[in-house]
Amino acid sequence: MADHRLPENEIALDWLTSMTLIRRFEERAGEQYARGKVGGFLHLAIGEEATIVGAVAALRPTDYMIATYRSHGQALARGSEPGRVMAELFGRVDGLCRGRGGSMHMFDRERRFMGGFGIVGGNLPLAAGFGLTSDYLGSDDATLCQFGDGATNQGTFGESLNLAALWRLPVVFMVTNNQFGMGTSLERHSAQTDLQRKGEGFGVPGMECDGMDVIDTWAVTKEALRIAREERQPVLVEAINYRFRGHSIADPEDYRTEEEVLAWSKRDPLVTFGDRLVAEGVLSDEQRQAIDLEATETVDAAVAFAEASPEPQPSSLYDDVYVLSDQVRGWYSADHRGAELRKGEELS
């Protein structure tokens, strides 16, 4: 890892604020899950905040960002309202996706956050598709696609990297190597453990960043985006990090030792970055506490917002199955069983 100077004070504080918000949001989401407010699976990004914030900070607002089923943090970093992210976890109408997607499927079109995706490796072709649109329309928008180390073993990894290189698409593929594909450690799931090299055979050069360091992640991602945008050369960036919690909330974590978790926790990106800002005089201890308090208050408000948001109406069950037009007049017109029971879209 390069020894980077701090960015301007305002930017440094902004990054710390963003990472703190993600941490407190994820902790609260875990609590709400334990209380039964959140259903399904819940994959938390605690420990991975620097990878998220550093990468998103390198993007322009018009660039496309796409991620995985672990993507509350990406939505928050991209600027989605915390209340709407929490409301999505609660399955409420004010959720980012109106309660249709849940934890694994966040999406915020306005902010060009193009989704969390539940299928490992499923988002790489989509990212190449965004790159194709940018290329086709002659814009200089770029795409950042994050996926886990496990996804590098999927067919779509090789297929998408090959096509992106072949067609010179402006896409940065970022593998967030958090050391485990669910509960299977890197050396037990990938013959090539130096993941940044996995794109070489497809014509995609690799770069590496310290995913526990927000500045390094930002600097490397920014350079990778420049190469993709200006040289029309896709890049594979490996961000090495660690998730402090299990794969999901339902993970007993039998596959790793407490010592290992403890060793990594000494590199907690929130602590190390905050300590450095204090040490270099950018931040006082009081300000640091204030940032934390503000994040907690934001998350409190997000939970209150989600609690207050209504449950979706049963009559909305068939909304948005199709784009309606003269030829598709409602869900039931696509499958004609009992129109009276399945109005849905016509009512809304």
Strands of the chain (E only): list them: 64-66, 143-148, 171-177, 180-181, 184-185, 206-210, 235-240
Q: Which is nearer to other proteins, 250 or 323 (CB)?
A: 323
Distance of alpha carbon 323 from alpha carbon 169, whole angstroms = 29
3 state DSSP class of 125 = helix
Give the one residue of 185, 322, 343, 346 binding other proteins; rule: CB under 8 A: 322
Site residues for other proteins, 134-153, by CB under 8 A, read 134, 136-137
The encoded tokens of residue 327 equal 């030829």
By CB under 8 A, tell whether 125 contacts other proteins: yes
By CB under 8 A, tell whether 111 contacts other proteins: no
- Measuring CA to CA, which residue among 86, 76, 72 is closest to residue 43? 72
Smallest distance from other proteins to CB 96, Å:
7
By CB under 8 A, tell whether 97 contacts other proteins: yes
The encoded tokens of residue 348 equal 């809304």
Q: Is the dihedral of CA 63, 68, 74, 76 positive or negative?
A: positive
3 state DSSP class of 192 = coil
Q: Quote the radius of gyration of the chain (alpha carbons, Å).
A: 21
By CB under 8 A, tell whether 83 contacts other proteins: no
Give the one residue of 27, 81, 319, 346 binding other proteins; rule: CB under 8 A: 319
Stretch that binds other proteins, among 14-22, 54-62, 125-133, 190-198 (CB under 8 A): 125-133
Give the one residue of 122, 183, 203, 205 binding other proteins; rule: CB under 8 A: 122
Smallest distance from other proteins to CB 113, Å:
10
Distance of alpha carbon 298 from alpha carbon 256, whole angstroms = 33
By CB under 8 A, tell whether 340 contacts other proteins: no
By CB under 8 A, tell whether 250 contacts other proteins: no
Distance of alpha carbon 45 from alpha carbon 43, whole angstroms = 7
Q: Which is nearer to other proteins, 86 or 219 (CB)?
A: 86
Binding site for other proteins (CB under 8 A): 64, 95-101, 105, 107-109, 114-115, 117-119, 122, 124-134, 136-137, 155-156, 159-160, 162-163, 166-167, 319-323, 325-328, 331, 333-338
